[in-house]
Structure 1
Amino acid sequence: MPTPLAHDDPVTLGPYRLVARLGSGGMGTVYMARGVGGRTVALKTMHARIATDPGIRTRFRLEVDAARVIGDRFGARVVDADPFAETPWLATEFVLGPALDEAVLSAGPLPERSVRALGAALCSALDQLHRSDVVHRDLKPSNILLTAYGPKVIDFGIARAIGDDPLTRTGASVGTPAFMSPEQAGGMEHDAAGDVFALAGVLVFAATGRAPFGSGQPADLLYRVRYAEADLRGVPAALVPLFAQCLAKEPEERPYLAELAAQLHDGSGEFAEQLPDAVLAEIGRRAADVWRTV
């Protein structure tokens, strides 16, 4: 949800006037901003203290490229970007819908029909990336926005091309521990099969309201991801075997995206028809609130 700008936030970036904060993390801050004519965008920036690091700047440029690869059907459409500015920034469409974690927090776990439709749509989104030899590497509920037309995958801060040299040292695990793949948790190569593992974790969260390996300290989570069995209590019975296969510790034992999508949903009907009324109401409320933020 939007919060007021801080005293040290910039007033403008590029041609955009900053209106409110949408979130902030270790790498940068995301703002609600308005452009010429009043168009509302989500504008992501890099913290000034790390903007001088060439490796971080390279990662930001890769994030911009990956956001363009996924396109506006499965991601937030890139409106403008300047990764070479003194303060690099990326402007995307302002998606009218809550993040998956917010939706589950406010409306409760999703019913089976919603989980199936969400999973199949996310398979298509990841396939769009993988066909361009890009892996996301940080798929989690807060990086999935729900709209009436389908989910959108965002935040490609640690995405990279399959086979590229990693931007972090060998043996370092980068990502979100609760939704990492075992190979990623061990600092090894995370390829397309790793995104399948993370996707299953996201769907377990959607169905139950909790991550498949629980919560706690990062070191504990990393250990459970690598060696413990996933907690699938509360997952609809028909989905348990499928999710268990996706959460296999060995990448080669996991299904391909096309196989997973076919077992989740046949693609019929509109995505909005599969969502609970409470989630649809939240999407509508956010659409109405965009212009109330001043």
Structure 2
Amino acid sequence: MSGVAVGGGGAGAGGSGAGAGRSGPAPLAPGTKPAPGYEVLAHLTRTGWLDVYDAWSAERACRCVIKTVRPDRRGREQLGERLLREGRWLREFSHPHLVRGYETVASPEPLVVLETLTGETLSHLVHRLRRRPAAADVALLGVQLCSAVHYLHGRDLLHLDLKPANVVVERGHAKVLDLSVARPPGPAPAGLGTCCYRAPEQARGGPLTAAADVWGIGVTLYEVACGEVPFGCGESGAQSEEGGGGTGDSCPRTDDRYERTQPAAPPLASRRRLPAALAAAVDACLRADPEARPTVAELAAALEATLPGHP
């Protein structure tokens, strides 16, 4: 992908999420004005409950990204509230590794306006590159993800959907997208997040802690490092509409019990030769017991220690 990457509900443009060809009513045509001051330039992607558009902001005289509830999902009030909640968070938050929100509009239909990101999603990058990223690039990516997650946790939020499709990278700078399933630590229903990427405790349901996002960082780094997820659970990006990011796809595994009782992840070193300390840091994120995983601060320190020039 070149040009535009977006904060879609589960994927960036060109990522592993659904494209514009999903069934359902036609998306807004170019030239449509979904809210005063905004004009649709193109439809970028469709998920199970969202449409994402490349748009023009007259006030800012620049392109932007608009997320809005699909026309055939607008009767579900909780989806509009969920979208506006994400938009309010992104407007309030200010962090170099989080996508920036410009505005939320509640009527005539709920929509969120985000910055346009140049670059590409990690999911696209992983499948485009013939060579795996250098070990230092993997470690630096991990440090940046830890920084964004640390910021969210400081605001009493867990991301709960960290994956390559929700990270855009340009010239080594990563930005995390999509807070659509974010919530405070505590009890949560089973199935939050995305198949193949959610922590075992997310699949099971129950109390969630910062360790769930440590898992998300680990599984993302694992895929970036070796080109595949630790568990061969089918096509990446699939989610459940009720529990996950809301693409409306069912998990490719018909028996979700597999996710709830996952075997140990194969050691990263068995998939790719990497510095032992880096491989060990990623492997530690994927321990089944949440309490056995490193904290975000411990993970960041371990990754930083593998970077060239670190004392």
| TM-score under structure 2 length normalisation | 0.77
2:147 to 101, 106, 124: 124
> Match of 2:94, SS?
helix
Per-residue CA deviation, residues 91-129 of structure 1 (Å, 9 max, x unaligned), is 111011100011111124312110000000100000000
Q: Using the TM superposition, give the Cα deviation of residue 8 of structure 1 relative to its aligned residue in structure 2, in angstroms.
A: 4.1
Q: Using the TM superposition, give the Cα deviation of residue 55 of structure 1 relative to its aligned residue in structure 2, in angstroms.
A: 2.1
Per-residue CA deviation, residues 148-183 of structure 1 (Å, 9 max, x unaligned), is 3621000111111234x75xxx4x312211100000
Distance of 1:129 and 1:259 partners within structure 2: 16
1:230 aligns with: 265
Q: Using the TM superposition, give the Cα deviation of residue 244 of structure 1 relative to its aligned residue in structure 2, in angstroms.
A: 1.9
Distance of 1:209 and 1:95 partners within structure 2: 23
Distance of 2:307 and 2:102 partners within structure 1: 31
Per-residue CA deviation, residues 63-82 of structure 1 (Å, 9 max, x unaligned), is 12332354251112111111
**Residues 98 and 147, structure 1, Cα contact 8 Å, conserved in 2:** yes
1:257 aligns with: 296
2:202 to 148, 166, 184: 184
Alignment of 1:93-172 (within 5 A): 93-108=115-130, 109-148=132-171, 150-163=173-186, 166=188, 170=189, 172=190
1:56 aligns with: 79
Distance of 1:218 and 1:202 partners within structure 2: 20
Distance of 1:191 and 1:162 partners within structure 2: 5
- Point out the structure with the larger helix share: 1
Distance of 1:16 and 1:255 partners within structure 2: 44
Measured on the aligned residues, the alpha-carbon RMSD in Å equals 2.5
Q: Percent of counterpart pairs with the same letter?
A: 30
Distance of 2:260 and 2:124 partners within structure 1: 24
**Residues 137 and 172, structure 2, Cα contact 8 Å, conserved in 1:** no
Distance of 1:266 and 1:157 partners within structure 2: 33
- Structure 1 248/179 Cα, relative in aligned 2: closer, same or farther at 3 Å? same
**Residues 181 and 190, structure 1, Cα contact 8 Å, conserved in 2:** no
Q: Using the TM superposition, give the Cα deviation of residue 267 of structure 1 relative to its aligned residue in structure 2, in angstroms.
A: 10
**Residues 136 and 195, structure 1, Cα contact 8 Å, conserved in 2:** yes
